[in-house]
Amino acid sequence: MYCPFCRNPDSRVVDSRMADDGSAIRRRRQCPECGRRFTTVETTSLSVIKRSGVGEPFSRSKVINGVRKACQGRPVSEDDLALLAQEVEEQIRSSGAAEIDAHEVGLVILGPLQKLDQVAYLRFASVYQAFESLEDFESAIALLRQEEDAQALPAKGARNTAKSPL
């Protein structure tokens, strides 16, 4: 790392701290030549490969903007969207890949969005998965109902197995 003041190619790390929810490291450095201190921030790079083959840095704001359109008129706050984007980024980064297809980003979005708001999920899925007919919507709704029923069964079973006080 070159010193920004005297361009010396050497520096010493004085302090390191986590930043941005652990996705970056902030380092205070000192130049042995001029003695001045400066800060660097280290992050891992994550590139999204678009259909055209062009890569661009992952952006939470692009995730939020894409999902915001599906959430118009729904009871979803900006905080909910920010948390969804954070969850999407964490899932993608946990895969360990430095590059990910844009299509894969969309697939990762679908999971958290389904938990957040089912109507917004259907809107997003209809565009993202290119629904072409009413049958596409009907099958997506049927799948949502199946998943909802499957989640409700364990909860009912837990209540029925409770022993009666009598």
Task: Identify the band that residue 19 occupies on the pLDDT scale cut at 50, 70 and 90.
Answer: confident
CB neighbours (10 Å) of residue 100?
A: 19
Please state whether the predicted TM-score (pTM) of the whole model is above 0.85: no
pLDDT in tens, 36-46: 999 999 887 88
Print burial letters for 59-69: b (CB count within 10 Å at least 16), e (below 16).
eeeebbebbee
Q: What average pLDDT does the segment 50-60 reach?
A: 91
d(CA 68, CA 6): 46
pLDDT in tens, 122-131: 999 888 888 8
User: pLDDT value at position 165?
Assistant: 45
Q: What average pLDDT does the segment 92-116 reach?
A: 90
